[in-house]
Amino acid sequence: MGDADEEMMWKLKFPESNATTTSLVVGAVLHRPDEEDHQYHKGVKYLCERGITKVPTKYILPVLERPNTGNKDGNFSNDHDLSLPVIDFAQLQGSNRVQALQSLSRACEEYGFFQLINHGISSEATSSMVQEGRKFFELPFEKRSKYMSKDMFSPARYGTSFNQNKDKVFCWRDFLKLNCHPLSETLPFWPSSPSELREAAVNYSKQTKFLYMMLVEAILESLGLVENNKSGPENDSYLNEFEDGSQIIVLNCYPSCPEPDLTLGMPPHSDYGFLTLLLQDELVKGLQIQHQGRWVTVEPIPNSFVINVGDHLEIFSNGRYKSVLHRVLVNHAKSRISIASLHSLPFSRKIRPSPKLINEDSPKLYKDTDFASFMEYITSCEHKNKNFLESRKLNVGKEK
Ligand SMILES: O=C(O)CCC(=O)C(=O)O
């Protein structure tokens, strides 16, 4: 194929790109179209390390799904920053618990999100987790790629996009997922490089698990399901199940992007679990949540966690607490890192609306579900928006 033909081929495949064959050769990126898909599976960092000035077509969203496009209702997301409700963990654990529980409850009902301050996790624990995460993404590709796997249950999984085996358009994100439960079984398979990563991640997983358990107690209490400071068979059995639950730490890396208006770091999604504890990049914002019909950017608060309700908590609370769509914007100048700790009940456990929250006035709104059906769902279709949760909703009055 001559240069002109090759250029024409490139233009057909990458219609919005100004790149020419020459720049391709110089940049040593994506020489042959038949190699493209394989290259993209190596991740965004890999792509950026080879030098690009344009976003390849594989990452370009249809116009209506781009970050600055009006949504279906004609609302635009630009320039809307959101101060999420702030919950002071020290107050939640202190004499102001009753008021703090009311704020927590309102935040979960109205926003599905809140920021948690005074959470008690040391800044050494969070900063070393971020630092080791950064170092992991800086490793040579050959070292990172040892952890690439299609197995969703792998103890450590490095990958790219959102669901790279299904996504038609790729997201501008690489990730490392660390399965933390049971730690004694998964830890030996976590990356041994960078050398401090395991220690930082173990410490971080234990501290976030402890915080999660405190939040679960508060949430159960706010729903009227357990009573504060009372140890009894009912309280204990609830909490034991959560204690034995799943935990996955996801380190997200969003390299700087030459054309951030064409793509997303993560598409609109809700989290499948019970609660997510998210450590945001303090300097580079990017998280947007859907609130009152529009996309709003969450302002990071230093030393805080963003906590969000997942699908399982929406189901468990029979719809009282909301699992809200969120997405991630990428940045032209700076790369961004975030660390999500996703928690839920054990993988084998059925998730169902709490029987205590169902009555004549508040009928059961969701089918029982389990982790296996979620996995089946995401491996069989493109996980878009809240489809999984939608698929669990009952047509009230029509349940068999
Ligand atoms: O990077 C972020 O701020 C959000 C990450 C996220 O939505 C997720 O891990 O599910």
Q: Under a CB-based contact definition with an 8 Å cutoff, are residues 308 and 324 in contact? A: yes
DSSP string over 236-305: HHHHHHHHT-EEEEEEEEE---S-GGG--SEEEE--SSSEEEEE--SSS--EEEEETTEEEEEPP-TT-E
Contact 312, 112 (CB under 8 A): no
Average pLDDT of 131-155? 94
Atom from ligand 1 closest to the CA of residue 252? 1
Residue 388 binned pLDDT confidence (cut-offs 50, 70, 90): confident
| Contact (Cβ atoms closer than 8 angstroms) between residue 309 and residue 275 | yes
**pLDDT tens profile 107-124:** 999 999 999 999 999 999
3-state secondary structure 12-51: HHCCCCCCCHHHHHHHCCCCCHHHHHHHHCCCHHHHHHCC
> Is 250 touching ligand 1 by the criterion CB < 6 Å?
yes
Residue 29 confidence class, pLDDT cut points 50, 70, 90: very low
| Bridge partners, 150 (sequence order) | none
Answer yes or no: is pLDDT of 26 > 60. no
User: For the residues 368-375, what does the mean pLDDT come to?
Assistant: 82
Structure tokens belonging to residue 142 = 């050959």
β-bridge pairing 113-117 and 86-88:
parallel
Q: Is the pLDDT of residue 105 over 90?
A: yes
340 in ligand 1 pocket by Cβ < 6 Å? yes
| Residue 237 CA to ligand 1 centre (angstroms) | 31
pLDDT at 28: 39
- Please give the share of the chain, as a percent, with pLDDT higher than 90: 69
Residue nearest to atom 9 of ligand 1 (CA): 340
- Residue 344 CA, ligand 1 centroid: distance in Å: 16
Q: Is 167 in contact with 157 (CB distance < 8 Å)?
A: no
Rg of the chain in Å (alpha carbons) = 22
Instruction: Inform me whether the pLDDT recorded for 6 exceeds 70.
Output: no
Handedness of CA 206, 211, 214, 220 (dihedral sign): negative
Task: Calculate the CA 134 to chain-centre distance.
Answer: 17
- The CB of 326 under 6 Å from ligand 1? The reply is yes
* CB of 338 shorter than 6 A to ligand 1: yes
Is residue 34's pLDDT more than 50?
A: no
Give the pLDDT confidence score for residue 207 in this predicted structure: 98
Q: 122 versus 23: which is more confidently predicted?
A: 122
Residue type, 278: L
| Closest residue to atom 3 of ligand 1, CA basis | 287
Binding site membership of 58 for ligand 1 (Cβ less than 6 Å): no
For residue 159, the model assigns a pLDDT of 96
Q: Which of 1-10, 62-71, 300-309, 334-343 is the least confident region?
A: 1-10
Q: Is 266 in the pocket of ligand 1 (CB under 6 A)?
A: yes
In the predicted model, what is the mean pLDDT of residues 263-274? 95
The preferred substitution site among 287, 288, 335, 343 for testing ligand 1, maximizing ligand atoms within 8 Å of CB, is 287
Is there an atom of ligand 1 within 6 Å of 308 CB?
A: no
230 CA → ligand 1 middle, Å: 35
205 lines ligand 1 (CB under 6 A): no
Look at the block and give the residue holding tokens 């989290």: 271
Residue 22 confidence (pLDDT): 31
385 has a pLDDT exceeding 70: no
Predicted confidence (pLDDT) at residue 386 exceeds the cutoff of 70: no
Q: Is 280 in the pocket of ligand 1 (CB under 6 A)?
A: yes
Report whether 354 contacts 226 (CB < 8 A): no
Looking at the predicted structure, is the pLDDT value of residue 32 above 50? no
d(CA 14, CA 393): 40
- Start-to-end CA distance of the chain, whole Å, equals 62
| pTM score, whole prediction | 0.87
Q: For residue 43, how far is the Cα from the chain centroid?
A: 17
* Residue 12 in this model has a pLDDT that exceeds 60: no
Residues across the chain: 400
As a whole-number percent, the residues of the chain with pLDDT over 70 amount to 84
Q: Is 392 a pocket residue for ligand 1 (Cβ < 6 Å)?
A: no
Q: How confident is the model at residue 59 (pLDDT cuts 50, 70, 90)?
A: very high
* Mean pLDDT, all residues of the chain: 86
Which pLDDT does position 70 carry in this prediction?
55
- DSSP 3-state of 156: strand
Q: Which of 52, 48, 60, 51 is nearest to 16 (CA)?
A: 60
Mean pLDDT confidence for 267-291: 95
CA distances from 158 to 49, 124, 198, 335, 371 (A): 17, 25, 15, 18, 21
Nearest-atom index, ligand 1, CA of 265? 1
* Residue 378: per-residue pLDDT: 72
Residue 25 has pLDDT above 80, yes or no: no
pLDDT value, residue 255 = 98
Distance CA 371, CA 374 (A): 5
Tokens 């089946």 sit on residue: 376
pLDDT level of residue 157 (50, 70, 90 thresholds): very high
Distance from Cα 277 to the centre of ligand 1, integer Å: 10
Cβ 252 under 6 angstroms from ligand 1: yes
pLDDT of residue 104: 98
Identify which has the larger pLDDT, 2 or 386. 386
The verdict on the CB of residue 325 being under 6 Å from ligand 1 is no
Nearest Cα residue to atom 10 of ligand 1 = 271
Q: How many angstroms is it from 355 CA to the middle of ligand 1?
A: 31
How is 71-91 classified by DSSP, letter by letter?
-TTS---TT-EE---EEEHHH
Q: Is residue 337 lining ligand 1, measured as CB closer than 6 Å?
A: no
pLDDT of residue 131: 97
| Domain residue ranges in the chain | 81-392
Which among 213, 214, 205 has a CA at the least distance from the CA of 182?
205
Longest dimension (CA), the chain: 78
Q: How confident is the model at residue 229 (pLDDT cuts 50, 70, 90)?
A: low
Which CATH number is 81-392's, of 2.60.120.330, 3.40.190.170, 3.10.20.600, 3.90.1330.10?
2.60.120.330
